[in-house]
Amino acid sequence: MEPTTPAEPVADAAIRIDSHLGADERTLAEDVLDGLTRPFKELPPKHFYDSRGAQLFDRICELPEYYPTRAERTILTDSAEELSRLTNAAELVELGSGTASKTRVLLDALSAAGTLERYIPVDVTESVVRECAAELTGEYPGLRVHGVIGDLERHLDRVPPAEGSRVVAFLGGTIGNFPPGSRRRVLRKIASLLGPDDHLLLGTDLVKDPEILEAAYDDAQGVTAEFNRNLLQVLNRELGADFDPDDFDHVALFDAEHEWIEMRLRARREHTTIVRDLDLPVHFDAGEEMRTEISAKFTAERLQSDLSAAELELVHWLTDPEELFALTLSRPAGALAEPGAQRVD
């Protein structure tokens, strides 16, 4: 196990930030060596999010074609009080928290109910967690924030023990970015954070008309295309590569067999790129594609199967009026034997 690296001291006693990202973390260089030397090239989507990538993604979330953010926000706004009542949570753990923009409405509801005591954001970006912690402790008197800086696949065991009933929120459809095996491993790790009175609030994008799905990832303004190609600029800056983004077309397609969207970059011409810091030549044939993201879409049956594999059971299902997106509330399977628990079939 890696040692915890203390962050800078925080003046506010209500805030604690623990960093678990050490020198042994898998790096961009390792991902490039692994992903770009395969017969089918691919890179993990976590490398999209440099400062420019984050700005572009914020723009994507406001695009008319990109429904997930709006649909999830609608569900949360309409159901926050109900979720507060159902969970009666004293603490909210948010995975991939960012600025906590997705969960503010839930924090408001828990605070109004008088149950909210602690917020635990889990994210890889310490500066964002630190800024968010300062904002939230100012907005919610008496709130304690315990930030966990770490990777969702490696550091969920570093989430502090519960001090009361908790709800773990994993929103935005981010669970769909994990391949099926990894997805179930992550869900099992999340389940290990839950006691019998605790809940998982999970956001999932739903299977729908492929035209709607593909438009959401290939907008008319070309913002998503710019976001995808910005990954090449990350490689140029961080690893001394000489990618020309104009040599690649953005591709978004729905894989009906796997029920996921894939984002790819397709080479417009045959060429070889050099990643200088790795002394790595990377050859592309004309038309060759490199996968940069998958985003799985769910049916109720698939989601129940994934939750069951993690020994979680679905107890509440919420969708927006157009049934584009779902928020589900689940809890440890054994807890359903308790009085008042209701199973969703």
User: What are the domain boundaries of the chain?
Assistant: 28-60+210-296, 63-206+298-332
Q: What is the pLDDT of residue 26?
A: 58
- The residue behind tokens 């984050």 is 54
* pLDDT, position 16: 96
Per-residue confidence (pLDDT) for residue 49, from 0 to 100: 82
The answer on pLDDT for 264 being more than 70 is: yes
Q: Residue 13 has what pLDDT?
A: 74
* pLDDT tens profile 295-319: 999 999 999 999 999 999 999 999 9
Residue of higher predicted confidence among 337 and 235: 235
**Confidence band (pLDDT; 50, 70, 90) for 51?**
confident
Q: Is the pLDDT of residue 334 over 90?
A: no
Residue type, position 2, single letter: E
Is the model more confident about 54 or about 206? 206
H or E stretch covering 331: strand 325-332
Confidence class for position 344, pLDDT limits 50, 70, 90 = low
Strands (DSSP E) contained in 2-156 are 5-6, 15-19, 91-95, 118-123, 144-149
- In this prediction the pTM is 0.88
Rounded mean pLDDT of 281-303? 97
Is residue 250 within 8 A of residue 225, CB to CB? The reply is: yes
pLDDT at position 340 over 50 = no
pLDDT at 128: 86
> What is the structure's pLDDT at 21?
79
pLDDT at 345: 47
Question: Which among 2, 334, 11 is positioned nearest to 150, based on CA atoms?
Answer: 2
Query: Average pLDDT in the 277-285 region?
Result: 97
**Burial, 41: exposed, middle or buried (Cβ in 10 Å; 0-12, 13-18, 19+)?**
buried
The model's pLDDT over 10-49, given as tens digits with 9 standing for 90+, comes to 456 799 999 987 754 558 899 999 999 999 999 999 889 8
Average pLDDT over residues 51-71: 93
CATH 3.40.50.150 fits 63-206+298-332, yes or no: yes
| Mean of pLDDT values over 260-285 | 98
pLDDT tens digits, one per residue of 80-124: 999 999 999 999 999 998 888 889 999 999 999 999 999 999 988
Q: What is the C-alpha separation between 268 and 265, in angstroms, rounded?
A: 9
CA distance 102 to 176: 17
The residue with tokens 């140029």 is: 236
pLDDT of residue 127: 85
**Confidence check: pLDDT of 66 > 90:** yes
With beta carbons less than 8 A apart as the criterion, state whether 325 and 75 touch: yes
- Mean pLDDT value across the chain: 92
Return the pLDDT at 341.
46
Among all chains, which residue has been given the structure tokens 């008309």?
A: 209
pLDDT at 1: 40
Give backbone dihedrals phi and psi of 324, rounded to 5 degrees, phi first.
Answer: -90, -30
Amino acid at 28: L
Specify the pLDDT at position 88.
97
**Rounded (10°) angle between helices 223-239 and 51-61:** 170
Q: Is the pLDDT of residue 339 over 50?
A: no
Grade residue 4 by pLDDT with cuts at 50, 70 and 90: very low
The confidence score (pLDDT) of residue 336 equals: 55
**What percent of the chain stands above pLDDT 90?**
81
Please give the pLDDT value at position 35. 97
Main-chain dihedrals φ then ψ at residue 343, nearest 5 degrees: -90, 145
Of how many residues is the chain composed? 345
